């Protein structure tokens, strides 16, 4: 009789570090999923030559780093077994239950959707995104975590894209920039959106990417020294005003710098967010109080203030944005938000499934569950034969994700984001 294969669980250590408060029974669930995936993918390799299980681990790690629950992490470890091995959905359901089987099956269906940039001839990027988003919502069944796993899967594939052929690198990078990064943005998952954009840009325009990255890097020590001085000065003023706030240097995203340079036709040295900080305070009133301090210390640049707290973005993003000049004429971009807003900004819709010790549901969670239930019913109606075009269907889903926003579609298929209460005149003059 052949002895059972013993799987080394040491590779799970980074997941435990990311989720230190998981109860033991949820750790066991993740361990079992890792063991099953390791056995199923045994002998398989990535294009890089690494064992295939390293991809499954990386996808699970991305989600664990976002603080997602054990069910999502376990499903991420298993996300390729049905498509790439002899394991069936029924096998997964018998071993791990209906929910994990549903998540794995949803990701498998998403992998079967055509995402090629040439799959919709004559259509523009926005139309391709809307059509894929519609199919994605339908394929995922009733659980948005399918999309989160798919985005994490795409992110790791982009991190390792250099092992693909040049043609495939370009195709995958275009798909990512035209479809997956916008979807991450719509769902408010900026942590994934930014990296997808930078990775895609690096492959699509490597020369421009290197040029901007070099300009950002060559000023790094000067910038860090400057931000340290500025932060100390702001904290001193906050202490006088009784404001408790954390000030962070914001990471620089190459693609966003490129877009701003291109959109505003500006040289690198005139891009405000090259020197940027984020201020996280306790309450909404303190956001505006902190803004007053910033505008008192520095000179506010006209036309560079945005209040996304009173008027959130289409994906529910909330923060105050301002750009200022110091006494030396140096520009500084400032974001101000609460801790809750920061979590929403980083994780978007994923924040609903983030692990919380005790698992007590808040009133916001209850409201979110009601919106998800309405989305599920919409999907069932469409799957049962209801006739809706891509724009109309996605409009309905987005209405439930961000009920305080209005998404209007132009005759050309563009999406216009308007605040609740907007009129046809607002749309006409947008």
Active site positions, annotated? 83-84
CA distance 278 to 3: 56
DSSP 406: E
DSSP-derived 3-state class of residue 278: strand
Nearest-5° angle of CA 76, CA 314, CA 405?
120
Q: Give how far Cα 85 sits from Cα of 81, 95, 325, Å.
A: 5, 16, 58
Residues making up the chain, counted from first to last? 430
The residue among 309, 310, 306 whose CA lies nearest residue 334 is 306
Instruction: Classify strands 331-338 and 405-409 as parallel, antiparallel or unpaired.
Output: unpaired
Q: Residue 408 has what DSSP assignment?
A: E
Half-sphere exposure of 106 (CA within 13 A, CB side): 26
Alpha-carbon span 311 to 356, nearest angstrom: 29
Residue 398 bridge partners (DSSP): none
321: enclosing H helix or E strand: strand 320-325
């Amino acid at each position: 009789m052949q002895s059972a294969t013993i799987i080394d669980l040491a590779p799970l250590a980074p997941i435990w570090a990311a989720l230190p408060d998981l109860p033991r029974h949820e750790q066991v669930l993740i361990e079992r999923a890792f063991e099953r995936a390791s056995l199923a993918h045994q002998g398989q390799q990535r294009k890089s030559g690494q064992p295939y299980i390293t991809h499954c681990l990386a996808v699970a790690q991305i989600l664990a780093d976002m603080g997602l629950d054990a069910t999502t992490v376990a499903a991420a470890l298993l996300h390729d077994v049905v498509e790439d091995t002899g394991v069936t959905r029924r096998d997964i359901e018998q071993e791990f239950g209906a929910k994990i089987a549903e998540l794995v099956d949803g990701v498998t269906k998403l992998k079967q959707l055509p995402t090629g940039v040439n799959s919709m001839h004559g259509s523009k990027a926005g139309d391709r995104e809307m059509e894929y988003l519609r199919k994605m919502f339908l394929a995922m069944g009733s659980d948005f975590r399918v999309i989160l796993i798919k985005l994490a899967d795409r992110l790791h594939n982009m991190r390792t894209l250099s092992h693909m052929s040049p043609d495939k690198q370009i195709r995958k990078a275009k798909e990512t920039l035209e479809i997956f990064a916008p979807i991450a943005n719509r769902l408010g998952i900026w942590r994934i959106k930014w990296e997808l954009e930078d990775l895609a840009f690096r492959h699509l325009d490597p020369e421009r990417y290197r040029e901007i990255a070099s300009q950002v890097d060559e000023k790094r020590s000067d910038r860090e020294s400057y931000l340290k001085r500025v932060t100390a000065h702001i904290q001193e003023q906050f202490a006088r005003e009784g404001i408790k706030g954390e000030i962070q240097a914001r990471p620089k995203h190459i693609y966003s710098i490129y877009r701003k340079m291109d959109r505003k036709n500006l040289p690198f040295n005139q891009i405000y967010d090259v020197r940027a900080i984020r201020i996280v305070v306790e309450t909404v009133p303190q956001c505006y109080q902190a803004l007053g301090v910033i505008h008192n210390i520095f000179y506010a640049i006209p036309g560079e203030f945005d209040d996304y707290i009173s008027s959130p973005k289409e994906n529910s993003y909330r923060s105050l944005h301002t750009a200022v000049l110091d006494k030396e004429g140096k520009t500084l971009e400032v974001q101000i938000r609460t801790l809750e807003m920061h979590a929403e900004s980083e994780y978007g819709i994923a924040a609903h499934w983030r692990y919380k010790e005790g698992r007590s549901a808040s009133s916001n969670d209850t409201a979110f569950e009601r919106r998800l239930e309405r989305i599920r019913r919409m999907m069932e109606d469409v799957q049962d034969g209801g006739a809706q075009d891509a724009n109309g269907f996605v409009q309905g889903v987005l209405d439930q994700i961000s009920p305080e926003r209005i998404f209007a579609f132009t005759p050309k298929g563009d999406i216009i984001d308007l605040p609740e209460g907007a009129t046809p005149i607002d749309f006409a003059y947008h």
